[in-house]
């Protein structure tokens, strides 16, 4: 603490009528209007637009890191906090750790990573320590079991480490409907602060049982693959947005897909993968303004199914 964070700098610059505001008018006004939702287990409010980093494993390439640094800086300037990574995403944890350090923004962010080992508690513990080292942080905000890996042993271990103050929250992730039954079992057996699941207008199966169960069990829901990994953009192609999306203040297909996913009442935050600042700008457009109601959600599904 004691130094001015990048977000505070942005606010100061805006208050002073800086030219930064004139250069990027849409987004710099945004942080105050970004929708936040509460994590049920604590009541802590987090912005609904997060960031997924499974494409941040670029190693030492200065050029690739510069592009990612721009995206990350933009994300933080716009009021984003929640970032998801994993040891399994090649060098993503180290790259993210270095970029946060260079930008001096770690304390503004909510960092989520994962454990994916199945060789016993010592090995899993060692992996969580290695993640903290790479991310250059003492405390990881959210530690998740990656794709249910050895969840029967890893969840109790993560709870123990949470009690020791190593993490603030514990979660469990999946991105495949073939794992939903097992996921349900784990959600019934353990108290979890978060679940992470794939959910999009194209892949709606999580809404059948997992999302209602998360709501019942008081678990925050983080959404991955809201664009189907990017595939959904190919499905919509260069079609224009339907006229009725204007009342939802939707101006791109990405915003359509994000507003659909985030308007499910059980959801807390989406973590679209974004390696480009312009995608960050676009996606934050979906974190403000009106959200589709049940009727409009149906309309979005019908439109998409007819493509």
Kindly state the tokens that stand for 172. Answer: 């469990």
The residue (of 12 and 266) whose beta carbon lies closer to ligand NAP is 266
Question: Least distance in Å: CB of 13 to ligand NAP?
Answer: 25
Question: Least distance in Å: CB of 87 to ligand NAP?
Answer: 11
Question: Least distance in Å: CB of 189 to ligand NAP?
Answer: 19
* Cα distance between residue 177 and residue 306, in whole Å: 23
Quick one: which of 69, 77, 84, 186 contacts ligand NAP (CB under 6 A)? 84
Tokens 């998740």 -> residue: 144
Question: Least distance in Å: CB of 205 to ligand NAP?
Answer: 15
195 binds ligand NAP (CB under 6 A): no
Stretch 257-296 residues interacting with ligand NAP (CB under 6 A): 271-276, 279, 282-283
Q: Which of 262, 272, 220, 259 is nearest to 38 (CA)?
A: 220
- Helix, strand, coil percentages in the chain from 3-state DSSP, rounded to 5: 50, 15, 35
196 binds ligand NAP (CB under 6 A): yes
Residues 6+ apart with CB under 8 A from 188: 213, 217
Which stretches within the chain are classed as H helix?
A: 6-15, 19-23, 25-28, 62-77, 92-103, 121-134, 151-163, 180-189, 210-217, 231-236, 253-262, 277-284, 294-305
Quick one: which of 76, 226, 263, 267 contacts ligand NAP (CB under 6 A)? 226
Q: Which of 15, 269, 33 is nearest to 142 (CA)?
A: 269
Question: Least distance in Å: CB of 278 to ligand NAP?
Answer: 8
* Cα distance between residue 133 and residue 175, in whole Å: 26
Question: Least distance in Å: CB of 233 to ligand NAP?
Answer: 5
Query: Residue 150 CA to chain centroid, in angstroms?
Result: 23
Quick one: which of 28, 155, 248, 254 contacts ligand NAP (CB under 6 A)? 254
Residues that bind ligand NAP (rule: CB under 6 A) add up to a total of 29
Stretch 102-141 residues interacting with ligand NAP (CB under 6 A): none
Quick one: which of 227, 256, 260, 303 contacts ligand NAP (CB under 6 A)? 227
* Cα distance between residue 235 and residue 114, in whole Å: 31
Quote the crossing angle between the two packed helices 210-217 and 180-189, to the nearest 10°. Answer: 10
DSSP 292: P
Kindly state the tokens that stand for 299. Answer: 């309309």
The piece of 7-15, 35-43, 225-233, 299-307 that touches ligand NAP (CB under 6 A) is 225-233
Question: Least distance in Å: CB of 90 to ligand NAP?
Answer: 12
203 binds ligand NAP (CB under 6 A): no
Stretch 26-55 residues interacting with ligand NAP (CB under 6 A): 52-55
Interface with ligand NAP (CB under 6 A): 52-55, 84, 146-147, 173-175, 196, 224-230, 233, 254, 271-276, 279, 282-283
């Amino acid at each position: 603490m004691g130094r001015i964070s990048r977000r505070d700098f942005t606010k100061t610059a805006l208050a002073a009528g800086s030219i930064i505001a004139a250069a990027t008018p849409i987004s710099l006004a945004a942080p105050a209007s970004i929708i936040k939702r509460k994590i049920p287990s604590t009541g802590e409010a987090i912005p609904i637009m997060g960031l997924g980093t499974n494409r941040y494993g670029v190693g030492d390439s200065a050029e690739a890191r510069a592009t990612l640094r721009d995206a990350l800086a933009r994300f933080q300037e716009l009021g984003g906090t929640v970032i998801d990574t994993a040891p399994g995403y090649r060098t993503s944890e180290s790259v993210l750790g270095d970029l946060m350090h260079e930008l001096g923004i770690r304390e503004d962010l909510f960092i989520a990573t994962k454990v994916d080992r199945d060789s016993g508690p010592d090995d899993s513990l060692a992996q969580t320590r290695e993640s903290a080292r790479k991310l250059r942080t003492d405390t990881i905000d959210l530690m998740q079991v990656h794709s249910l890996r050895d969840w029967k042993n890893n969840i109790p271990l993560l709870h123990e480490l949470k009690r020791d103050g190593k993490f603030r929250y514990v979660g469990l992730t999946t991105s495949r409907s073939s794992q939903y039954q097992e996921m349900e079992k784990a959600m019934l057996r353990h108290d979890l602060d978060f679940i992470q699941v794939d959910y999009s207008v194209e892949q709606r199966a999580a809404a059948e049982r997992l999302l209602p169960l998360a709501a019942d069990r008081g678990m925050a829901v983080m959404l991955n693959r809201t664009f189907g990994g990017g595939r959904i953009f190919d499905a919509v192609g260069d079609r224009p947005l339907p006229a009725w999306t204007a009342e939802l203040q939707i101006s791109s297909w990405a915003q359509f897909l994000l507003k659909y996913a985030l308007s499910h009442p059980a959801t807390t935050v989406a973590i679209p993968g974004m390696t480009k600042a312009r995608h960050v700008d676009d996606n934050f457009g979906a974190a403000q303004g009106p959200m589709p109601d049940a009727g409009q959600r149906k309309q979005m599904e019908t439109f998409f199914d007819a493509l």
